[in-house]
Amino acid sequence: MSDKTKTYEFQAETKKLLDIVINSLYTERDVFIRELISNSADALEKFRHESLTSEDVFDDHVPLEITIDLDEEKHLLTITDTGIGMTRDELEHNLGTIAHSGSNTFLTELAEAVQKDVNLIGQFGVGFYAAFMAGKSVRVQSRSWDGSEGHEWLSDGSGSFSITELEGLRRGTKIIVELKDDAQEYAQKFKVESVVKRYSSFVPFPIKLEGETVNTVQALWTRNRSEISEDEYTEFYKFVGNAVDEPVYRLHFTADAPLMINALLFAPKENFEVLGFGKMDPGVNLYCQRILIDQHSKNILPEWLRFLKGVVDSEDLPLNISRQALQDNALVAKLRKVVTKRFLKYLDEEAKKDEEKYLEFWSTFGIFIKEGATSDYEYQKELGKLLRFESSKSDKGKPVSLADYVLRMNPDQEEIYYINGPSRAAIEAGPYVEMFRKKDIEIIYTLEPIDDFVLSHLAEFDGKKLVSADRADLSIPESGGGKDEDTDDKEEQKLEDEAADSLVSWLKETLKDQVADVIVSKRLVDAPAMIVNPDGYMTSSMERVLAASRAEKGLGLDGGSRKNLEINPKNPIIKRLAELQKEDTDFASDVALQIYDNAMIQAGLVVDPLVMVERNYKILNRAIGD
């Protein structure tokens, strides 16, 4: 070893990863060539962009291409690119550590995924290490576009790597894979050619295999839609998204005004984020006149569309715009708006064409649409159309749109109602839907904690206010259903006004530490009581979510805001309580507190279980006749 060689240990996580790669089954070993070529293509794109924005570029005259050389005798496969190259520091860090290893579960997930399907390795941003599937040693010779001295990185993948200065290199990177004994087919031209054709046909630079160009360089998105086959689209999706699944949706559109746009966007089948991979990087690349300006661009689409894969190309962007300048570029902002609106419109159209298919997409990616609806005011109208929820008039597991709801609204109904609960069954057994059922008014069931935030942010749909049914000031319209013939019977049986007033003042006093107010309900049908929110903005569900996040942060309980208790003057327990309150105040207090706790539980809110169970036994004791 020369004096200028330094040896480094791989980062612990990289070691484990290499272990997985080296020891996994190699049914799909071809993938390593795709990964190396894809890295080369990235490096070439980066160089092309840098050379547009910088004056001082090393080896500027070298053509942008990828060359593959094979040596059957020495069992070598060499992939050379004239891309951006790596400095000594970059070699050490890019090829010694794993960039995206933030989450603890990363390696476990990765190991599982890679063992199932090696193809997935690229999705984890660790494609380079796939070289060790076929290589007993891997040598990386690289020289950066800044012209600093070149270096060689060398490793057998077992635990360490070395870096040595190497003179006389051209700009770019050469990767020399010394093939394992059982991987020598990768030094054969026909084998490598078939792999390149299969996986890398969309690489936008010539790939020369032993002097012969084996790919056709083309920008698929600039071609005419009618000339592109389904297979070409799917292959392109796999290429641009580093994906193995098939896309569920595809939008290929061109526009001339207000901006020149050529976009090809795909929605994948799988949502890797929910599979525990942590927050994913955006998957759409920004091009200008077919030149990649910003890969995995954070600027071209809002963050909540990060699950999309594809390309946006606009000739209106200045070619030499730097990546930093993209962020506050007005043109980019305009482009983002146009593309986002177009995509959301497309989704809405697709949903109308084939609701089944859309619901499948919704069950996988609905969470991103909801994220958009809670965080982005700009697209609320469009996002509102894409939301789906179960409702009292939907079948179980078949959510409906707000537009469907509006179509079914009763003539005198002006608001859209919703109520949160952990399940359909829990909501339907609870007090909030009683009057809706009776009056035959549809009510939306928000079954996820985020849903109330979504609807509360959205505030209205199609000019109709969105209102949570646990609001204190809710007024339910007369009815469209005509199911209330029995109202009059019940009227007769209900507590006299005077008795009700006296019960209310007693309850206010008894529950003064618990509630803001006690009210005689106009909307309870059977249940004795329910909790409603005087704060029109917060629903009980939102409050529960915020309390949980406070608890998670160790901030302790803040008790939430005070609620109102509505009591049902027709309910036998309430009627009896009006008398009991005078006869046996102690016992009546226990019953009142128990009614309050029960109502809190039905609202999904927290009660003190110890206190409640003790009180409950006391009441049971008396009921048994002790």
Q: Which residues bind ligand ADP (CB under 6 A)?
A: 35, 39-40, 43, 81, 83-86, 94-95, 99, 125-129, 173
Which one, of 473, 492, 502, 625, lies nearest residue 564 by Cα?
473
Structure tokens at 199: 């996986």
Nearer to ligand ADP, 34 or 563 (CB): 34
Shortest distance, CB of residue 204 to ligand ADP, whole angstroms? 15
Residue 569 CA to residue 118 CA, distance in Å, equals 66
Nearer to ligand ADP, 140 or 458 (CB): 140
CB atoms within 10 A of CB 232: 15
DSSP 252-263: EEEE-SSS-EEE
Shortest distance, CB of residue 367 to ligand ADP, whole angstroms? 25
Which one, of 68, 42, 48, lies nearest residue 203 by Cα?
42
Nearer to ligand ADP, 31 or 351 (CB): 31
Shortest distance, CB of residue 558 to ligand ADP, whole angstroms? 44
Nearer to ligand ADP, 208 or 341 (CB): 208
Nearer to ligand ADP, 40 or 598 (CB): 40
Shortest distance, CB of residue 329 to ligand ADP, whole angstroms? 25
Nearer to ligand ADP, 91 or 402 (CB): 91
Residue 52 CA to residue 28 CA, distance in Å, equals 38
The Cα diameter of the chain in Å comes to 104
User: Do residues 305 and 296 touch, judged by C-beta distance below 8 A?
Assistant: no
252 — phi, psi (to 5°)?
A: -115, 110
Shortest distance, CB of residue 81 to ligand ADP, whole angstroms? 5
221 — phi, psi (to 5°)?
A: -65, -20
Shortest distance, CB of residue 174 to ligand ADP, whole angstroms? 9
Residue 229 CA to residue 392 CA, distance in Å, equals 44
Nearer to ligand ADP, 159 or 536 (CB): 159
Residue 331 CA to residue 322 CA, distance in Å, equals 13
Nearer to ligand ADP, 80 or 568 (CB): 80
Rg (C-alpha) for the chain, rounded Å, is 32
Nearer to ligand ADP, 44 or 263 (CB): 44
Which one, of 98, 90, 86, lies nearest residue 40 by Cα?
86
Shortest distance, CB of residue 17 to ligand ADP, whole angstroms? 9
Can you tell me which residue has the tokens 């569920």? 248
Can you tell me which residue has the tokens 């060499």? 78
Shortest distance, CB of residue 99 to ligand ADP, whole angstroms? 6
Shortest distance, CB of residue 231 to ligand ADP, whole angstroms? 26
Nearer to ligand ADP, 222 or 295 (CB): 295
493 — phi, psi (to 5°)?
A: -85, -5
User: Do residues 605 and 540 touch, judged by C-beta distance below 8 A?
Assistant: yes
Shortest distance, CB of residue 149 to ligand ADP, whole angstroms? 16
Nearer to ligand ADP, 99 or 613 (CB): 99
Shortest distance, CB of residue 71 to ligand ADP, whole angstroms? 20
Can you tell me which residue has the tokens 């969470």? 367
**Preceding omega of 258 cis (within 30 degrees of 0):** yes
Residue burial 510-548, b: 16+ Cβ < 10 Å; e: rest: bbeebbbbbbbbebbbebbbbbbbbeeebbbbbbbbebe
Task: Return the HEC string of 299-340.
Answer: CCCCHHHCCCEEEEECCCCCCCCCHHHHCCCHHHHHHHHHHH
Three-state DSSP class for residue 140? strand
